[in-house]
Amino acid sequence: MSQRADVVVIGGGPGGYEAAIRAAQLGLSVICIERRLHKGKPALGGTCLNVGCIPSKALLDSSHKYHDLKAGYEKHGIQFDGLKIDIPDMLARKDKVVDQLTTGIAGLLKGNGITWLQGSGQLLAGKRVEFTPHEGEAEIIEAEHVILASGSKPIEINAAPLVDDIVVDSTGALEFTEVPKRLGVIGGGVIGLELGSVWSRLGAEVVVLEAMNDFLTIADKAISKEAKKIFTKQGLNIRLGARVTGTEVNDQQVTVTFTDDNGEHSEVFDKLIVAVGRRPVTTGLVSADSGITLDERGFVHVDDHCRASVPGVYAIGDLVRGPMLAHKAMEEGVMAAELIAGHHAQFNYDLVISVIYTHPEVAWVGLTEERAKSEGYEVKAGQFAFAVNGRALAADDNAGFVKFVACAKTDRLLGMHIIGPGAGDMIHQGLIAMEFGSSVEDLQLMCFAHPTLSEVVHEAALSVDGRAIHAIQRKRK
């Protein structure tokens, strides 16, 4: 006998499990299907909790602590001998963090009365879902509504096929059992910079091969320029316009061939990370007669409310247009659940925060200065450095700046961009301001606590009109 549910969610990652929980809170019967096996055990949390956001941040934090102990504390008058690193212990801590969170998600589903089915789900015609467990025979689930949330996976490239633990994707880069002497990273985006930073801090010589001629093209140009300068100073060898043409593995090393404006080159590495982006996981997700429309890149076609081409079916997260970010998937999942329950719900796609968890962190929300100008805005902008901020100087963590982009005619905030300490947290000040339609003057008139890093936000807002107190500026008005 087939099962029935008001909502069937295919995928238990951040978007999927939040959709399931919100639907259950709204009184709907919910089944969540997740096929992931992490280290041989069924696991919720998707890429983010198992092999993405969380484990990478655990290693970023561990490696940053090690790097500070090794090179950053003498300025504070702290000296010691005998520093060493135990990579297996570091990996064990990372796994413990992952287990704690994924176990917690399982508890949340159980506590909300959600049925977690461990295996694969495929949407069939008529909103029926075929569930195939890891062991056993397939069965049909009758659903009133279906939310597709199967996520994404790393893109593989023909020029650099994965080979054991030598040529790896972002997942494999979380499992190196020792620090490579020379590490190559194909891709200078968010994932490549974060993973490169981890192993660079631990002692690897890191070369980043980025095919684009410009660095971090998704960020504001002022931010990307500063980021390249800082990361290069930290030891990342960033090669722009480097297009990888082939790889060859011999004697536990990999030779990478690439071309740039100066011709063809080759480099030998102990490990190579392929971090050129991600693509949606749609193989086996929907049957040919399901009625779901995919585009040429494999994304599910949806409207602004994540409704797919079949009434009652939604798709969220990395399966659909927009940035592949866990927090975007989460909000889309909640929106889908609330729409299914008959509530009004919407999501502001213009204000999705992006964060790179290097050190210093890089974060932005809204329009870059270049994008604002291209969209026809008359722009005014201002920025202020952490270099003269008392709290940042006291902490010896004062690289970077805060930048605001605003409309010169209306004074409305259009974008906020940060490279500096705590950027991933401070960026939410700009998010809240822009969500409520704040002007630059609104921030200028606020009283920020002293001494705090957030004073840089205040000074950056003042600088838009040439009014920064702790910088020599010509007042604009």
User: Strand 313-315 to strand 139-148: parallel, antiparallel, or no bridges (unpaired)?
Assistant: parallel
38 vs 35, 166, 270, 407, 475, CA distance in Å? Answer: 10, 21, 26, 48, 58
Please check if 324 is assigned to a binding site.
yes
Of 340, 260, 348, 341, residue with least CA distance to 308 = 340
Instruction: State the virtual CA torsion across 74, 76, 78, 84 in degrees, nearest 10.
Output: -60
Please check if 189 is assigned to a binding site.
yes
CB 202 within 8 A of CB 85: yes
Please check if 126 is assigned to a binding site.
no
Give Cβ neighbours of residue 159 (< 8 Å, ≥ 6 apart). Answer: 244, 245, 246, 247
CB 169 within 8 A of CB 155: no
The C-alpha atoms of residue 469 and residue 205 are separated, in whole angstroms, by: 41
Please check if 119 is assigned to a binding site.
no
Strand (E) or helix (H) holding 223: helix 221-234
285 φ, ψ (degrees, to nearest 5): -80, -40
| Helix locations, 45-145, DSSP H | 46-51, 53-71, 87-111
Please check if 318 is assigned to a binding site.
yes
Please check if 187 is assigned to a binding site.
yes
DSSP codes joined into one string, 124-181: -GGGEEEEEESSS--EEEEEEEEEE---EEEPP-TTS--BTTTEE-TTGGG--SS--S
Please check if 191 is assigned to a binding site.
yes
Please check if 190 is assigned to a binding site.
yes
Q: How many angstroms separate the most distant Cα atoms in the chain?
A: 77
CB 270 within 8 A of CB 182: yes
Residue 450 annotated to the active site? yes
Please check if 210 is assigned to a binding site.
yes
Of 418, 412, 409, 408, residue with least CA distance to 460 = 418
Is residue 264 helix, strand or coil? Answer: strand
Please check if 459 is assigned to a binding site.
no
Of 76, 265, 450, 458, the active-site residue reads 450
Instruction: State the virtual CA torsion across 301, 304, 309, 314 in degrees, nearest 10.
Output: 90
Please check if 121 is assigned to a binding site.
yes
Is residue 112 helix, strand or coil? Answer: coil
Give Cβ neighbours of residue 361 (< 8 Å, ≥ 6 apart). Answer: 355, 418, 419, 420, 421, 422, 423, 424
Give Cβ neighbours of residue 324 (< 8 Å, ≥ 6 apart). Answer: 152, 278, 317, 318
Please check if 81 is assigned to a binding site.
no
Please check if 107 is assigned to a binding site.
no
Please check if 192 is assigned to a binding site.
yes
Within a 13 Å sphere around the CA of 331, how many CA atoms are in the beta-carbon half? 16
Of 362, 330, 267, 452, residue with least CA distance to 60 = 362
Please check if 415 is assigned to a binding site.
no
If one counts every other C-beta atom within 10 angstroms of the C-beta of residue 475, the result is 8
User: Which residue ranges are tagged as binding site?
Assistant: 57, 121, 187-194, 210, 277, 318, 324-327
User: Which residue ranges are tagged as binding site for FAD?
Assistant: 57, 121, 318, 324-327
Residues assigned a catalytic role: 450
User: Which residue ranges are tagged as binding site for NAD(+)?
Assistant: 187-194, 210, 277
